[in-house]
Amino acid sequence: MALFITFEGIEGSGKSTQIALLRTALQNMGHAVIQTREPGGCAIADQIRSILLHPENTALEPTAELLLYAAARAQHVTEIIRPALDSGKLVLCDRYTDATVAYQGDGRGLDPHLIAQLNKVASQATTPDLTILIDLQVETGLGRALSREIEQQDSSEGRFEREEMAFHQRVRDGYLALAKADPKRFSIVDGGLSIAQLAVEIQKEALKLLEQKKVSA
């Protein structure tokens, strides 16, 4: 069954952990699942990711940042997402177009109309069936993200973690506004829950979507 589920949230919200848990759960049920991420997901987009997330690239201009995200997405959708959906697979993606709206729109203050246009072109108008928004207090999320860097001794993708607190609050507020505007697609889950509790809530939402698709098929 072709389904597209995206995960969104601020830094340190637990997306990477939860998307992997959902992938395993769905595969155990017999579903063909592709797990991917943005920026990245394929060789060319991963090279763009290294530019976008490296903390040394502080001079990256916001519009250039936006265009790089669009370029990475265009390659990713063409090479990975669309072929997987067309072949009937279930695609799980760690961040997608909503991240661009929240980070480059609400966070950076770039033109929302330009962002919408670029998102539509880069995504080939491919829209998620469900978006899981893991909501979390900014201070908690950043604390987790920075602790992870220390534990892994790797800050090569920490450019956004070094933004001011107000930036991350704007991003969180932007995500919540997106969810409020599109409640049928978004499901907000509490990032303050334990990993196991959060996994249960997310799996409930995914299974609900699967049942809805079966009924409408």
119: tokens are 């998102």
**pLDDT reading at 121 higher than 60:** yes
190: tokens are 């509490």
Residue 148 pLDDT: 86
Give residue limits of the domains in the chain: 3-216
Domain 3-216 is of which CATH architecture?
A: 3-Layer(aba) Sandwich (3.40)
**pLDDT reading at 55 higher than 70:** yes
Are 134 and 197 in contact by the 8 Å Cβ rule? The answer is no
Torsion, Cα 199 169 123 44, to 10 degrees, reads -90
Lowest mean pLDDT among 95-99, 195-199, 210-214: 210-214
**pLDDT reading at 66 higher than 80:** yes
pLDDT digits (tens, 9 = 90+) for 136-195: 999 999 989 888 888 887 777 889 999 999 999 999 999 999 999 999 999 999 999 999
Residue 215 pLDDT: 62
211: tokens are 């049942």
pLDDT digits (tens, 9 = 90+) for 33-52: 999 999 999 999 999 999 99
Task: Give the whole-angstrom CA distance, residue 198 versus residue 7.
Answer: 13
Residue 61 pLDDT: 97
Residue 217 pLDDT: 54
Residue 189 pLDDT: 98
**Amino acid symbol at 103:** Y
